Structure 1
Amino acid sequence: MKLVECPRDAMQGIHEFIPTALKAAYINLLLKAGFDTLDFGSFVSSKAIPQMQDTKDVLEKLDLSSTSTKLLAIAANLRGAEEAVACPEISYVGFPFSISETFQHRNTNSSMLASLNTVDQILELCDRHQKTAVIYLSMGFGNPYGDPYSFDIVGEWASSLAGLGTKILSLADTTGVSTAEQIRILMPMLQKQFPDIECGLHLHSTPEKRIEKITAAYESGCRRFDSALRGFGGCPMAKDDLTGNIATEELLAFLESRKESTGINDYYWNEALQLSTEVFSYN
């Protein structure tokens, strides 16, 4: 079971700038809580995502001396990936590959074919620097732009990414449109098609749909879950009305009900919950 907590995703759409020291204090508590990975920041244009302009400064304030949690940073192009791999503290570099042409342009200012070449370069870059790339299949459950979508399209693009040497593939529901039925079809499909790739889910959801999506994912064999404390977040590049993440506390409660060991330290998790009230008081 790999639990990926996503403070980066939770914070990135907030317009008022969250002080760097507060971000770092919050992430330090999450580091002590014991997640497998923290999606903590991104190396992207400060004009596109102003909230993430201090990722390097946050990184300098993190205490990694007593944690086994690994850090993941998002990059939207090769230059961002080069910045990320230059940081020895970062283990994973995430790249959002959209199976919607419209969203790929909106999110990375690049076409899908050009972005496939970027993935190839990032994979090679990560290999050279002993990092691992996490490739997100964004808009993996459909898109609001009218671009073509089907399960076959998901499989075709996943196959292209696998052919480049992708080791971790995360199916991402960028706008919260996924259904439990889709999850129950797509997760087993990808796991069967790519047995040597670690397949995960990065789901967005309205609160009333979270548990049914978590249940469908777990029962479909997913063992890599992205989530965010209290379900904060959403993708500001997709649309103005953000749909939040799967809430980590609901995911933890579900896994515990299924007798799964989460490895989360309750003390530090509750400390992070308390501090989150201050972090997300900005808007």
Structure 2
Amino acid sequence: MAQQSTKRPLKIIAGADSFGCNLKDVLVSQLRALNIQVEDLGTDKYYSVGEEIGRRVSQAADDPAVETRGLVACGTGVGVAIFANKFPGVYAATCLNPDEARNARSINNCNVLAVSGMNTTPEVASDVLKTFLETPFKSPCPASGSNPWPDEIDQFLENSIHEMNKIGTPKPVESSSDCHLCSLVKSREFNAVDIMPGGSISIVRESPTSAFVRFTAGSVEPAHHHTFGHDLVVLKGSKRVWNLSKGEKYDLGIGDYLFTPAGDVHRVKYFEDTEFFIKWEGQWDLFLDEDHAAANAAIDKDKEN
């Protein structure tokens, strides 16, 4: 009997969409004739069926008492497999003939069989299901030339199941000098790019983009504008910003915030070594509206006033 191929009693959760329901009903009858426990979820949209059976098989993966597999059917057998495979520990495969089922079980430990209601006859589907039930993981199959797998391939297949289960799980953050998150916490030492004399920028995120910007004491940003608006918070030092488009100026120190709208022309003077955090939408750009000589002359004139 098919159940003898597994140490645990076998349970099959079945479901289909309207294009695969007739074939699913035939296969459910076959399973019940083999005295295999079947839970038939009936007919629904292909993505709902795939999702529900994938979830149920995933949740039951570690049950020591029962081995739970899935049987899904739609027009092609592809859509239901896609959505079943969105859950960890689920290895759904669309099989149109017994050889494909044997390969899927032997190589991938397939635990959800997907069949095509439009392209597979009930007779062929019956053979596919029988093969799916009776083929153990790592057994001889067409891909192995119907011979036992060599030891190194056998070990690879065994390890692959454990490695595949890790896919999609967050990796721990390594506490090394190469860890950008650690750099952010410690000293914000990202790769800096010079943007003008005395100034550099370190991009830390994109979309929305955020960065740390540093300028040395005495540095000047000539009048310029961007195609994006930007928010900034001063983390260290002090600066003065002239918004030439609005005719306003702002003296900023540690903890001060400023938003500059897109297109506003602004000039900046740094009174001491200064660092600030800046955030904007889109890619970085900068368009100069004057040179350094003109900027310094304008700043000197402002002092006189």
Relative to its length, the structure with more helix (as a share) is: 1
TM normalised by structure 2 equals 0.26
Q: Does 1 or 2 have the higher relative contact order (CA < 8 Å, sep 6+)?
A: 1
TM normalised by structure 1 equals 0.28
